[in-house]
Chains A and B, each alone.
Chain A
């Protein structure tokens, strides 16, 4: 399997041929099937796709949080700073979680514990991972709230989650995630539950924090606009497999996989100038295949693809490489029109 030449910096995180299996009533299915990608120190990458394509599962696999006992890493490596997390013990993973790799979730309403103040929840992480005293942790919690731009942090530190707005709660989640200066922050649809203006603020905050702290960011989203704004590189996932990977600008300007192209043109975009011309949106017919069809030895997108051929039904396409680490798992990637 070829890896990418586009990134010259040594990879902080290097995922190689990862295969994650989930046991279901209908048998074992590969929810992540032969996924490889690199994330350099301080880099940022987005995972895009519809729900059920394995984006969130990728995040959970990196965190060692696969659903138990149904899920397991069946093959491949997750090399974090040279250490293989796919084979790490539970104790080691607990050490890494929240310390070296942190995650923020889609729903800031339910990811904070309602019976503790936000200060206590930030301090908890600091005391567990860094052994700080109660007092030190409290002081640091205030600093962290300030760094995510919560106004008057000395006062808000004693607030309970329900006293904050959705955007503020997500800021608190980010503060908790950043408490131990992680080297990677995974953001799983961090703004889906928020208003656009709040979303813009959260994105600005994440970008700022990445620049200041050098934390690498993995953004998981379904919104191509968010990808364009937030990331340098992107991976398009479909049915547990990598459909396309590359620099965001390359992929959006010249998608090399029909699924990527569909994702971009299925959504009406807010372009710089709006004209009277409103063509029909490109439809991707049907839905993501059911889990039972994952892992079949053909192109899983073929059933929804209008340029699919017999070849697509018969064999699984390998990766075709282009410039700048751009690659696509489509037999006809070369022939795609921009």
Chain B
């Protein structure tokens, strides 16, 4: 029964996972790769910085408003004479941690709701999408402020407050991807060979729906960092920890006298969020099969 062996022009092709090709595509995008390197440096600084530079960011170490470089303080001191560099390094941990945790939370909620709505359709979808719409029309900043004001300004509460208002985009993307993919023949093929609903959702549809969700998640880390900065600027931050937004918020009255105390953490936020966006864009291009050669 082997008389018809199909001819393959290139005989020994290596098995290449679709993700391997996406990685190659990403590496070809220089802006995204540069942004990824910057991001890795920022993360390394956040992890190891406070160990290598163990000055307490809450301690008054010198005269207030010393400009950067003065007396060995690389980035100067703030209005209470606290070391800006120490604040920046310690703040990086908090800002990044809140960004990641909030993004993780919204992706988790968003995927759960979007997947159930997109897979089961009908009344389940109706209810879940009404809930999503409810959260979508909430004035996000106001709602998070209310939560923080009610439950106190601790890191978990702030993370929760950010996560609870930002999952709707993920839910919508997940739902539309599920609705599209569930109609594809390979899903029907799985179903026709006896796959259970759980298997269809988790191991057939979800892996194929992930690319746009990954992109959205990356961008969400950036927006969560911004959100946290916004809350801190309004004074709604945990007083026991330093974050970039909190440094800006506490120095804001002195912006005319010592602008560097606000600019430096501002630039840190800007560079981090920009790097995350560029990486997100790179992921988007790499994971988007329409841009990839066939």
Contacts and interface: CB of A to CB of B under 8 A. Distances in A.
A contacts B directly (C-beta below 8 A): yes
Interface of A: 25, 283, 285-287, 289-290, 293, 303-304
Nearest to B4: A283
A25 B6 CA distance: 27
B20 to A, nearest CB: 17
A286 B7 CA distance: 4
Q: Is the interface of A mostly helix, strand, loop or mixed?
A: loop
Contacts of A283: 4
Given A283-B4, A285-B4, A285-B6, 15 more contacts: A25-B293, A285-B7, A286-B6, A286-B7, A286-B8, A286-B9, A287-B7, A287-B9, A289-B9, A290-B9, A290-B10, A293-B9, A303-B7, A303-B9, A304-B7
A308 to B, nearest CB: 12
Interface string B1-13: 0001011111000
Query: A-B pairs with the 4 shortest C-beta distances?
Result: A286-B7, A285-B7, A290-B9, A289-B9
Contacts of A303: 7, 9
Contacts of A285: 4, 6-7
> In the complex, which of the residues A286, A289, A293, A303 has the most CB atoms of chain B within 10 Å of its own CB atom?
A286
Interface residues of B, number: 7
Interface in B7-31: 7-10
A295 to B, nearest CB: 15
Nearest to A290: B9
B159 to A, nearest CB: 45
A285 B3 CA distance: 11
The interface residues of chain B, by DSSP majority, are classed as loop
Contacts, number: 18
Nearest to A25: B293
Interface in B167-200: none
A227 B8 CA distance: 30
18 contacts: A25-B293, A283-B4, A285-B4, A285-B6, A285-B7, A286-B6, A286-B7, A286-B8, A286-B9, A287-B7, A287-B9, A289-B9, A290-B9, A290-B10, A293-B9, A303-B7, A303-B9, A304-B7
Nearest to A285: B7
Nearest to A289: B9
A279 to B, nearest CB: 15
A287 B6 CA distance: 9
A285 B8 CA distance: 10
Contacts of B6: 285-286
A309 to B, nearest CB: 17
A303 B9 CA distance: 9
A287 B9 CA distance: 8
A150 to B, nearest CB: 33
Contacts of B7: 285-287, 303-304
A293 B4 CA distance: 23
A285 B6 CA distance: 6
Nearest to B8: A286
Interface in B236-294: 293
A286 B261 CA distance: 69
A303 B6 CA distance: 12
Most chain A C-beta atoms within 10 Å of own C-beta, residue among B4, B7, B10: B7
Contacts of B4: 283, 285
Contacts of B8: 286
A138 to B, nearest CB: 39
Contacts of A286: 6-9
Contacts of A293: 9
Contacts of B9: 286-287, 289-290, 293, 303
A287 B7 CA distance: 7
Interface string B59-98: 0000000000000000000000000000000000000000
Nearest to B293: A25
A248 B257 CA distance: 89
A285 B4 CA distance: 8
Among B8, B9, B10, B293, chain A packs the most CB atoms within 10 A around the CB of B9
Interface string B31-64: 0000000000000000000000000000000000
A289 B8 CA distance: 9
Interface centre among A25, A285, A289, A304 (most CB of B within 10 A): A285
A175 B55 CA distance: 80
B101 to A, nearest CB: 41
